[in-house]
Amino acid sequence: MTWKIVTDSGCDLRRIEELAEHTEFQNVPLTIQIGSEIFVDDEGLDVANMMTTMYASPVSSKSSCPSPDAFLQAYQGAENVIAITITGNLSGSQNSAQVAKYMLLEEHPNVNVHVIDSLSAGGEIDLIVEELNRLIAKGLSFDEVVEAITDYQEKTKLLFVLARVDNLVKNGRLSKLVGKVVGLLNIRMVGKASDEGKLELLHKARGQKKAVQATVEEMFKEGYQGGKVMIAHANNEKACQQLSDKIKEKYPQADVRFIPASGLCSFYGEDGGILLGYETA
């Protein structure tokens, strides 16, 4: 059997280490518009330059989802296709992926296609993608992989920490006063992806140290017991290391990894932000 794992750029992975046999991995990029400039969130994107441009721009920025045809092209050429997108509550990417599924089945009715709404972004999607690859490598059938990954998704969660909120202010989602307070008082916004795929604020922590502590406490409260952790960060390896150290104080053998955030996740998380995916028991 041949497989394709397809994601949008809500996933930070650009390639999968030890990709399962007879499997391809493809990332369908979103685009980010800052003024008149368009940035395609693919492997060639200079994320640092995009962020510099965004902060220098006085106007609001926006992301645009891939078209159904972009997903359709990514789906072609495999007997089994599993796609996963950023939460449908933040982007139309999920809808495009679903439309492309039915377009593909019209052309190739014998192909197996399953589309997952991650209800999340960043590190949680990264964990789900890696688990998909592991399940495929085990030689499971399509239905077995779908059942197993559905169960796995029930055991993963996302926490985020925002160090800047400039984009939220420019887009009218936060007041200018709140934006100034966050900057002046060194506030970190700690939140989570809800079960419905919405981003919810949990804590306002003053300084990175308190934000790290609040994040780890939230993980433990939600049922983390030493499972895998994947942290997507926007130029903040220091916070990732602090989180890793704090987690390993309680679970020394924990598998904690961190990777640079995609352009899209950097756009949402902003400079210094993190999107932490983790497994619960």
Question: In the prediction, which pLDDT does 184 show?
Answer: 61
Tokens of 154: 């029930």
Q: CB-hemisphere CA count at 13 Å for 139?
A: 0
Question: In the prediction, which pLDDT does 145 show?
Answer: 98
Distance between CA atoms of residues 157 and 280, nearest Å: 8
Distance between CA atoms of residues 183 and 180, nearest Å: 5
pLDDT digits (tens, 9 = 90+) for 193-225: 999 998 888 989 999 999 999 999 999 999 999
Question: In the prediction, which pLDDT does 38 show?
Answer: 97
Question: In the prediction, which pLDDT does 199 show?
Answer: 83
For tokens 């949008």, the residue is 8
Question: In the prediction, which pLDDT does 26 show?
Answer: 97
Which parts of the chain register pLDDT below 70? 171-185
Distance between CA atoms of residues 231 and 237, nearest Å: 9
Question: In the prediction, which pLDDT does 90 show?
Answer: 86
pTM, two decimals, is 0.94
Give Cα separations from 220 to 9, 121, 154, 195 (angstroms): 28, 20, 16, 17
pLDDT digits (tens, 9 = 90+) for 168-193: 777 665 566 666 666 666 889 999 99
Question: In the prediction, which pLDDT does 150 show?
Answer: 98
Domains belonging to the chain, first-starting first, are: 3-30+65-154 (3.40.50.10440), 156-280 (3.30.1180.10)
Task: From 132, 133, 130, 193, select the one nearest 161 (Cα to Cα).
Answer: 193
For tokens 């609001």, the residue is 60
